[in-house]
Amino acid sequence: MVNVRDIKTAVKIGSLVLKNPVMPASGTFGYGEEFASFVDYNLLGAIVVKGLSLEPRAGNPPPRIIETTGGMLNAIGMENIGVHAFIKEKLPFLAQFNCAVIANVYGETVEEYQKVAEILSGAKGVHALEINISCPNVKKGGIAFGTDPDTVHDITGKVKQATNLPVIVKLSPNVTDIAEIAVSAQDAGADAVSLINTLTGMSVDIISRTSNIANLTGGLSGPAIKPIALRMVWEVAKKVSIPIIGIGGIMSPEDAVEFLIVGASAIQVGTANLINPLATMDILEGILAYLEVSDIMDIKDLVGSLKTERPREE
């Protein structure tokens, strides 16, 4: 059996090397301050912070969340402190850890994406950008950008021009053919794609006959979406050669391993953080244990190892 300390877990995203494939998903980890008393960030592959826009955004009115079977709906509405306050007030705290910082970028126009990317590129301590073209909870921008291959190509190309940092494009599942969008991002120079963002959904209070979310619709996350996310990662893996970061309902190490098998090089833990602040650590530990008992010396050997033909029964 292999020794757990000898297992290679490093993952490459463009020019950035992550020491392991585990990171939190944007929007479930704040700007990193709250979880610092639970999680040793030095052990994580990366930290992904809440989406940043050029100016601060107040977000949607409450109620913003509702529990649903096997998950939850949210419509936060991209509340954030804005890119300048992030760099000044939050980034110095994150810089003390031996851990890559991935800044999630949000804009209402192509120019805003470009501008935010440019500002973050000039900040010390940001190691990669994740471009959120898939937020389902804001009226303008977001999802509209993420559902059209030509627009995705345009934004990705313009952001690439504005930065030297590796660019990850975060894809929306609310499309007919997610692989087509992923190919567009790759063609425009994306260093990686991350998927999936939340699925647009609804929940209704039958007494008052109102939506349980003030925004009327919200984004569904949690274990309920995992099978869809796995299928989409698998579809995208067949079409692109850049690394894929798998996201969607990962609650356990076994869930994470499923994503690696269908073709994700790394994974993001999202909603699980909200019910267990230690989820990222527990999942990382469990992935290592799986590699150890499976005699896998390098995590790369697991990525995309799905057998599509069932073994013949003897």
Partner 1 sequence: MMTVCKAVAAGNVASNRELIDGHFLMNVKLPLSLERPLPGQFLMVRIRGRREPFLGRPLSVYEFQRHVKNVTCEFLYRVVGKGTQFLSQLRLGDAVDVLGPLGRPFEIYPPNRKIVLIAGGMGIVPMTYLAGHYRSSGAGRNMKIICYAGAQNADALVGIERMQTCSDTRISTDDGSRGYSGLVTDLFARDLRTYDPRETAIFACGPRPMMKQLAVMLKDKSFPCQVSVEERMACGVGVCLGCVTAVKDDWGKRQYKRVCKEGPVFNIQDLIWD
Q: Which residues are known to be catalytic?
A: 135
CB of 149 to partner 1, least distance (A): 31
Q: Which stretch binds partner 1 (CB under 8 A): 63-71, 125-133, 167-175, 302-310?
A: 63-71
Residue 203 sits in the site that holds partner 1 (CB under 8 A): no
Tokens in use for 314?
A: 């003897």
In this complex, which beta carbon is closest to partner 1, that of residue 157 or of residue 201? 201
Number of residues that bind partner 1 (CB under 8 A): 40
Residue 125 sits in the site that holds partner 1 (CB under 8 A): no
Among 17, 144, 204, 275, binds partner 1 (CB under 8 A): 275
Residue with tokens 């994580």: 44
Residue 26 sits in the site that holds partner 1 (CB under 8 A): no
In this complex, which beta carbon is closest to partner 1, that of residue 72 or of residue 240? 72
In this complex, which beta carbon is closest to partner 1, that of residue 79 or of residue 298? 79
Closest to 100 (Cα-Cα) out of 291, 266, 271, 299: 266
Interface pattern 70-99 for partner 1 (x via CB under 8 A):
xxx-x-x--x----------------x---
Residue 29 sits in the site that holds partner 1 (CB under 8 A): yes
Residue 30 sits in the site that holds partner 1 (CB under 8 A): yes
Transcribe the chain into DSSP letters: ---GGG-B--EEETTEEESSSEEEPTTSSTTSSGGGGTS-GGGSSEEEPPPB-SS-B--PPSP-EEEETTEEEE-----B--HHHIIIIIHHHHHTSSSEEEEEE--SSHHHHHHHHHHHHTSTT--EEEEE---TT-SSSTHHHHT-HHHHHHHHHHHHHH-SS-EEEEPPSSSS-HHHHHHHHHHTT-SEEEE--PEEE--EETTTTEESSTTS-EEEESGGGHHHHHHHHHHHHTT--S-EEEES---SHHHHHHHHHHT-SEEEE-THHHH-TTHHHHHHHHHHHHHHHTT-SBGGGTTT----SPPPP-
Q: Which stretch binds partner 1 (CB under 8 A): 126-134, 268-276, 283-291, 295-303?
A: 268-276
Residue 227 sits in the site that holds partner 1 (CB under 8 A): no
Residue 260 contacts by C-beta under 8 Å, 6 or more apart in sequence?
21, 246, 267, 287, 299, 302, 303, 305
Among 9, 28, 53, 156, binds partner 1 (CB under 8 A): 28
Q: Which stretch binds partner 1 (CB under 8 A): 11-19, 38-46, 142-150, 170-178?
A: 38-46
Question: Contact, 194 vs 161, CB < 8 A?
Answer: no
Residue 142 sits in the site that holds partner 1 (CB under 8 A): no
Residue 59 sits in the site that holds partner 1 (CB under 8 A): yes
Tokens in use for 41?
A: 């960030």
CB of 137 to partner 1, least distance (A): 11
Residue 145 sits in the site that holds partner 1 (CB under 8 A): no
In this complex, which beta carbon is closest to partner 1, that of residue 12 or of residue 19? 19
CB of 6 to partner 1, least distance (A): 25
Binders of partner 1 in range 294-313 (CB under 8 A): none
Binding site for partner 1 (CB under 8 A): 27-30, 34-41, 50, 58-59, 61-72, 74, 76, 79, 96, 222-223, 271, 273-278
